[in-house]
């Protein structure tokens, strides 16, 4: 039995003169959500009954029914890859749908040769069963079998990556049941800045307190079609004073997080890092991008990409500890931290390799806690196990890094933006190390990224999901 779809293997056929009535072949695979998206894009069938997160029949629940023709295509995979195999061409296929498959089901496809005819024509009984042995589909296939023995190496068949962000969906699912956190939103005076806060409120992630120019906030709401009646507005048109008011609300217990609206980041952070009356702690502030990269099986965090321009060794230690603490709040018990440089060997001519090696030893000695820290690592061997193995790196982090620590802000910012614009990652942004999380959204963020930023802050503010 061959699991499908394979990523790399040689397939051989059974030519017509070797076929015997009664021969059988099977394949088993799990129907997952990405299969439904791939089929929707390939076929153009956007019926919401077949989309994983849509309610297609109005009952309030997504159906995620596997399309019948996708299930039927599993038969062609057995005929084309197993029996008769490469060189087979369809003549006809009858289909009778006797059940439904859904995302998450394990489906086994079976074919049995029932007759051989003239001109290489052969007939098969075909059926598909679910994990309970119940038939989903049955029918009969007529195909033209190959005349001679053939084999095919499927290694060069291009793969597919679905541009979905399921890790952010999980973050939202963790954050939405928690009590909404009181969030001081500073200067939400443009539609995009206001809409992100209101969207998070509608998802019960935050309770926004809007601090800024009431006239501009109301104009932004009118442009975005937002009803402001449920929300508190604090009249403070000066951005510096609005940021100071948000900080004071945190001190007074009236806010659990601060969210950047339409103002310069340095104006907001200037109030947060003030020695007197700010939100400083004993640790340096640092920015963390929490990224959902399509095709990656875990969240990826990139730090620091927005605050510390050329961090020294102690600042890098704080950056790492901030990211580890955030990872814990997001449900990652022992995050793997890769400290990046251009190469994976210590080279005195490249100062970032020295810092990385020292930071690794600091973690070994308990000066950084809660995660596995290793470096220096180059980007390839930090995230790709094959690259790490090829270079002979033996490490619990190499190839599995969940937190990437950049040597400086420029490298971190470029890395995060490359992942966003080239790898189609979605990025949530939050500042850690203050007395409360600070939500930093970009004007280029889409709705999901804005929601995810608020979800990350909510989980950080509450210590994670219950």
Residue 334 to residue 338: CA distance in whole angstroms: 13
Residue for token digits 């990139």? 302
H or E element at residue 300: strand 300-303
Using an 8 Å Cβ cutoff, are 283 and 367 in contact? no
Q: E strands, 311-379, where?
A: 336-340, 372-377
Rounded mean pLDDT of 83-105?
A: 95
- Map residue 379 onto helix, strand or coil: helix
Average pLDDT over residues 400-418: 96
Residue 375 burial by CB count (10 A; 0-12/13-18/19+): exposed, middle or buried?
A: buried
Q: How many angstroms separate the CA atoms of 344 and 336, rounded?
A: 16
**Distance, CA of 180 to CA of 455 (rounded, Å):** 10
CATH code 3.40.718.10 region(s) in the chain: 285-432
Q: How far is CA 169 from the centre of its chain?
A: 8
| The domain over range 285-432 is classified in CATH as 3.40.718.10 | yes
Q: What is the pLDDT of residues 279-319, one digit of tens each?
A: 999 999 999 999 999 888 899 999 999 999 999 999 999 99
Q: Which CATH class is domain 166-280+434-466?
A: alpha beta
pLDDT of the residue at 158: 79
pTM for the whole structure: 0.81
In this structure, the chain runs to a length of: 466
Euclidean distance between CA atoms 339 and 359, whole angstroms:
8
Rounded to whole angstroms, how far apart are CA atoms 152 and 85? 9
Take residue 310 and report the two structure tokens written for it.
Answer: 């050329």
The predicted pLDDT at position 129 comes to 97
- DSSP H/E element including 232: strand 232-235
Given the candidates 3.60.20.10, 3.30.565.10, 3.40.50.720, 3.10.129.10, the CATH classification of the domain at 2-148 is 3.10.129.10
Query: Is 78:2 a contact under the CB 8 Å cutoff?
Result: no
- Tokens (6 digits) for 141: 């296939």
Lowest average pLDDT, out of 46-60, 161-175, 207-221, 241-255, goes to 161-175
Pairing of strands 96-97, 2-3: unpaired
């Amino acid at each position: 039995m061959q699991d499908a779809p394979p990523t790399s293997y040689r397939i051989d056929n059974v030519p017509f003169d070797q076929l015997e009535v009664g021969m059988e072949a099977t394949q088993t695979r799990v129907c997952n959500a990405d299969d439904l998206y791939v089929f929707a894009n390939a076929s153009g069938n956007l019926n919401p009954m077949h989309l994983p997160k849509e309610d297609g029949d109005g009952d309030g629940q997504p159906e995620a029914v596997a399309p019948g023709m996708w299930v039927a295509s599993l038969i062609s995979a057995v005929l084309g890859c197993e029996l008769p195999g490469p060189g087979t061409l369809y003549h006809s296929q009858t289909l009778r749908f006797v059940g439904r498959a859904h995302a998450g089901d394990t489906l086994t496809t079976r074919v049995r040769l029932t007759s051989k005819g003239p001109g290489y024509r052969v007939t098969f009984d075909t059926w598909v069963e679910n994990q309970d042995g119940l038939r989903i589909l049955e029918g009969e296939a007529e195909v033209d079998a190959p005349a001679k023995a053939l084999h095919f190496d499927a290694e060069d068949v291009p793969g597919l990556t679905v541009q979905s962000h399921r890790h952010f969906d999980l973050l939202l699912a963790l954050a939405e049941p928690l009590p909404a956190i009181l969030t001081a939103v500073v200067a939400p005076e443009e539609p995009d800045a206001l809409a992100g806060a209101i969207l998070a409120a509608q998802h019960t992630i935050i309770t926004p307190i809007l601090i800024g120019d009431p006239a501009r906030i109301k104009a932004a709401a009118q442009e975005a079609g937002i009803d402001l009646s449920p929300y508190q507005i604090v009249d403070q048109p000066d951005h510096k004073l609005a940021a100071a008011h948000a900080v004071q609300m945190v001190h007074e217990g009236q806010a659990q997080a601060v969210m950047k609206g339409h103002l310069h980041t340095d104006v907001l952070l200037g109030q947060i890092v003030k020695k007197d009356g700010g939100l400083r702690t004993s640790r340096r502030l640092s920015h963390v991008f929490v990224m959902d990269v399509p095709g990656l099986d875990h969240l990826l965090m990139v730090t620091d990409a927005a605050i510390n321009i050329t961090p020294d060794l102690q600042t890098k230690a704080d950056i790492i500890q901030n990211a580890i603490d955030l990872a814990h709040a997001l449900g990652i018990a022992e995050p793997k931290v890769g400290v990046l440089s251009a190469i994976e060997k210590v080279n005195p001519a490249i100062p970032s390799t020295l810092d990385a090696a020292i930071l690794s030893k600091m973690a070994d000695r308990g000066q950084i806690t809660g995660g596995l820290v290793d470096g220096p690592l180059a980007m390839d061997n930090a995230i790709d196990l094959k690259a790490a193995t090829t270079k002979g790196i033996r490490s619990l982090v190499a190839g599995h890094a969940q937190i990437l620590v950049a040597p400086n802000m420029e490298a971190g910012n470029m890395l995060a933006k490359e992942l966003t614009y080239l790898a189609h990652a979605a990025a949530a942004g939050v500042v850690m190390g203050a007395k409360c999380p600070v939500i930093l959204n970009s004007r280029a963020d889409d709705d999901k990224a804005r929601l995810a930023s608020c979800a990350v802050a909510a989980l950080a503010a509450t210590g994670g999901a219950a």
